[in-house]
Amino acid sequence: MGAAWLLRRLLASVAIIFAVVTFVFILIHVAPGRPCPETVERAVCEELKRQFGLDRPLPEQYWRYLVALAHGNMGNSYANGRPVRAAIAGTIPFTLQLAGAALVLDFLLGLGLGIYQAVRVNRIPDVVLGNVTLFIYSLPTFWLALLLLLAFGEKLRWFPVGGASDPVLCPVVHSLFCVADRLWHTVLPAATLGLVGAAGTARFQRAAMLEVARQDYVRTARAKGLPERRVVLRHQLRNALLSFVTRFGLAFPFLLTGAVLIETIFAWPGMGRLAFDAILLRDYPVVTGTALIASVVVVAGNLLADILVGLADPRLRVRAPTDVEVVTA
Amino acid sequence: MLSAMQRRSFPSLTVFLILVVAGLAACERRGGCTGENCGTIIDAAVAEPGTLLPPSSEDIVANDIDEQLFLKLADVGMSENTLGDEDFQPLLAQKWEWDGPLTLVFHLDPRARWQDGQPVTAADVEFTFNAYNDSVVASPFRPKLHRIASVTQRDSLTAVFRFRERYPEMFYDAVYHMRILPAHKLRPVPRDQWRTAPFGREPVGDGPYRFVRWQPAQSIELVADSTFFLGRPGIRRLIWRFTPNLQVAVQQAIADEADVREQLVTPENVERARAAKQLAIYTYRGNVYTFLSFNQRAPDDTTKPHPIFADREVRRALAMAVDRASMVKSALGDLAKVPPGPMSALLWIWDPDIRQLPYDTAQANRILNARGWRDHDGDGVRDKDGQPLAFHMLFPTTSVLRRQYALLLQEQFRAIGVRAEVDAVEGAVVNQRVATGKFDTAILSRSNDPSPSSGIAQSWTRAGFGGSNFGRYDNPAFERLVDRAVTTTRRDQARALWRAAMETLNADAPGIFLYALDNVAAVHKRVDNVQLRPDSWAAVLRTWRIPPDRLIDRDRVER
């Protein structure tokens, strides 16, 4: 891994993002449906389409979009006239908040469970947790969301059933109370996303820990008489974390796609709901804009994961001469 | 807020968070409003408006909010009578008079003010009419104003409407479709930019409430104008909280996170809302009807007749094969009625005695046999000249009710040897396909405004070709009856003519009129004087109130 590798990856990333934007632009424009409500007469709809520039040939629309994009202009929403950049910018803090909370829950819980199962492999806790995590991992995210909503929102009323904050007290975050209120509203949606993720992470981590446990250096550490805690945390876990870093990169697409459903179910004002509504309304600029941002996030997440793996694993970091044996830990 | 939280049970895993919230809440300034005119109402809305600029806002939620921000000259009363002017309530217009058969003169209330302090003038009224009529603005209300020739100002407080012809709903057309706009704010904005104008997201109105803030994808907040010239509103603060769909909206009302859900729609939702202790249930007339539309033109070439539905007798047979009363009973219980034609219960022409085709499967079978549609190959589906009697039913995936109905219809058609395929597609695709005639049949919903004239003419006469007459129904006899009904000044004569028109249409069976929903609203029990006008539930929201002894924490909160 070096500057040339990074440059190659960056160029590839730009190409991927360009391809995604092109694909989404063409797909949404050729998809059936019109960007006007049912109640709008055809003549009115035609006038609107003229104002939106949709009466021009598709290649021209695409070229105009690219030129505008190159100037940092993502267009205006057909549905509400807002600049797409502003609309997306308004949703990103909410999606980051939700995804961040879900990611923390996913990794902390998943990592903890994976390690716990690995050190008690094939014992009752491992078997029970293995089945529980498999069950949760198999659940459709939307179904778990509805279950949590019904139980903890509607019936028990422990948590709010929707929205990102109290609309009476916290129209804007202006005090610590409102910060806490926003966290309060995050619990159910983040738990939904995080629990499913944690179940997957736990299974992944358990397998990685057991793989590492068979390595010579772990056996050597035990033979040296090191305490078990130190063997597990210092030798076993540290090496098993490499696969965890890879999973970190894979978590971004999961969180973004999951957020579309979860944000819709929990009326969360994030980018997923913005994209979902835009698709239903055939709000082309918003659909393309959200796809652009999502692809940037996913590509950047994977690039970051690759860099982290490279930094953490000397085998990938060091370009070894062919005639020299690489000594690993 | 603190006590609201105290009412909740505390799960052990979140004790820490709760304590933090509770601690911080204790530091928050407690609300002090305790008398009359306090109160906050949160509406759980199923969509977010695109803009609040009235000519460009065609969605229902925008209309509900605009009711509070922008006044009309006058408005229909609770009777929903649209004939003449006697049942209309003055709003911006203090009074009006007829100056000859085609001229209507409005005298504006001199107390009316825009919320930036400017007076509301006749120049605003003239500007508003011109804006609504400008094709560049692309207002969906424009077609409803075509019989008004001009609006001018006689002096600063007198606006003069001149009509092209005389008809009974002249006054209704003059006042119902337009909300008066502030010319001084909008004149500088190019009309082709109105949909994106900042004014639409931060409006300055003249109504009982002022705009406070719009949090995208979250809420819109309005606050009462205590100096409103028609009287101070009873509720101090209104909040529309946006949810992505009906189920989430209903859930918010049930969980006491919203005070109003104006339409519950399904029997299941009504039952859930009834079970919520804090909610009261209100039933009022619905303004929507749902029908199976038969496309009388070929989907692949709209210049040619449809191979099945161009035949009036086949349409009649299909209509007779459907037991609409049983379907309503099984799918909707008491929440809906079988419409006696293309109308919702809102319209004053609703009459259950209007003659309709009977449910008679034996007759339906006889008609189909007589038209040559028989099961020649014994596969259970009728055919003629090698073509099976089969078609597609289009409806949006988002409508649970319409899906249910599609399956029921499919089964009833199957019983007479007709194969109906179910096509559930996205709403945007349904819109496109029906607008371009690319469908066999579609389960569609139509909302009525209080007048039968404009809606029925647009959806069921030649005037609606290229508009909302998607099935291209065309019967000159029906159109003559509608024309006479629209121009008749006496209500009893108009009712008789409408009845005749509806019976003509029903006999032609351009569609099967399936159900007309009653509206059922859930409103928090602490709210008093709840009045829901059927065409617009929020039209008289300013008269709602919360008695001081029923205020809860969110009512008392001060900014």
Q: Do residues B18 and A160 lie in contact, with contact meaning Cβ atoms separated by under 8 Å? A: no
Contact residues, chain B, for A45 at CB < 8 Å: 435
In angstroms, the CA A268 to CA A270 distance is: 6
Of A280, A257, A308, A108, the C-alpha closest to B46 is A280
B141-176 pLDDT per residue, tens? 888 899 999 999 999 999 999 999 998 999 999 999
Provide φ and ψ at B404, rounded to 5°: -60, -45
What's the pLDDT at B19?
53
Q: Rounded mean pLDDT of chain B?
A: 91
**In A, residues 139-178, which contact B (CB 8 Å cutoff)?**
149, 152-154, 156-158, 160-169, 171-172, 175-177
Of A6, A54, A92, the C-alpha closest to A285 is A54
In angstroms, the CA B428 to CA A35 distance is: 7
- Looking at the structure of chain A, the number of domains it has is 1
In angstroms, the CA B481 to CA B496 distance is: 10
Tell me the average pLDDT across A271-299.
90
Under an 8 A CB cutoff, do A38 and B200 touch?
Answer: no
Tell me, yes or no, if A7 comes closer than 8 A to chain B by beta carbon.
Answer: no
Domain CATH for A107: 1.10.3720.10
Provide φ and ψ at B523, rounded to 5°: -130, 140
pTM of the model: 0.85
Q: Could you tell me the end-to-end alpha-carbon distance of chain B, in angstroms, rounded to an integer?
A: 14
Tell me the average pLDDT across B239-248.
92
Under an 8 A CB cutoff, do A161 and B252 touch?
Answer: yes
In the predicted model, is pLDDT for residue B290 greater than 70? yes
Look up the domain containing A226 and give its range: 3-328
What's the pLDDT at A225?
86
| More confidently predicted of B28 and A108 | A108
Closest CA–CA distance from residue B314 to any residue of chain A (Å): 28
Under an 8 A CB cutoff, do B468 and A41 touch?
Answer: yes
Assigned CATH class of B288-517:
alpha beta
Q: Does the B35-50+207-284+520-555 domain belong in CATH 2.40.30.170?
A: no
Q: Do residues B519 and B262 lie in contact, with contact meaning Cβ atoms separated by under 8 Å? A: yes
What's the pLDDT at B309?
97
Chain A, nearest residue to B28 by Cα: A177
B269-282 pLDDT per residue, tens? 999 999 999 999 99
CA distances from B448 to A39, B54, B263, B453, B514 (A): 11, 18, 16, 10, 16
Strands B511-517 and B288-294: antiparallel
**In A, residues 13-32, which contact B (CB 8 Å cutoff)?**
32
Torsion angle, alpha carbons of B355, B359, B363, B365, to 10: 140
What's the pLDDT at A172?
54
pLDDT > 70: percent of chain B:
94
Q: Do residues B264 and B249 lie in contact, with contact meaning Cβ atoms separated by under 8 Å? A: no
B406-426 pLDDT per residue, tens? 999 999 999 999 999 999 998
Give me B2's structure tokens. 């603190």
What's the pLDDT at B17?
55
pLDDT category, B29, cuts 50, 70, 90?
very low
Of A167, A169, A200, the C-alpha closest to A269 is A167
Q: Which amino acid is at B98?
A: W
Give me B427's structure tokens. 């709403």
**In B, residues 202-241, which contact A (CB 8 Å cutoff)?**
212-213, 215-219, 221, 237, 239, 241
A131-163 pLDDT per residue, tens? 999 999 898 888 999 999 999 988 888 999 989
Chain A, nearest residue to B458 by Cα: A41
Q: Do residues B367 and B416 lie in contact, with contact meaning Cβ atoms separated by under 8 Å? A: no
Q: Does the B71-186 domain belong in CATH 3.90.76.10?
A: yes
CA distances from A81 to A86, A123, A270, B61 (A): 11, 60, 18, 17
Tell me, yes or no, if A88 comes closer than 8 A to chain B by beta carbon.
Answer: no
- DSSP assignment of A190-255 equals HHHHHHHHHHHHHHHHHHHHHHHHTSHHHHHHHHTT--HHHIIIIIIIHHHHHHHHHHHHHHHHHH
**In B, residues 35-54, which contact A (CB 8 Å cutoff)?**
40, 42, 48-51
Under an 8 A CB cutoff, do B24 and A282 touch?
Answer: no
Give me B290's structure tokens. 């749902």
Closest CA–CA distance from residue B358 to any residue of chain A (Å): 31
Domain boundaries defined on chain B: 35-50+207-284+520-555, 71-186, 288-517
A215-224 pLDDT per residue, tens? 888 888 888 8
What's the pLDDT at B210?
97
In angstroms, the CA B237 to CA A300 distance is: 44
- Which parts of B185-305 are beta strand (E)? 209-215, 219-224, 237-242, 260-261, 279-284, 288-294, 297-298, 301-305
Give me A90's structure tokens. 């308004």
When CB atoms are compared, the residue of B10, B213, B245 closest to A171 is B213
Q: CA angle, corner A7, sides to A4 and A9, nearest 5?
A: 110
What's the pLDDT at A328?
39
Q: Is A225 exposed, middle or buried (0-12, 13-18, 19+ CB in 10 A)?
A: exposed
Q: What is the DSSP letter of A156?
A: S
In angstroms, the CA B356 to CA B340 distance is: 7
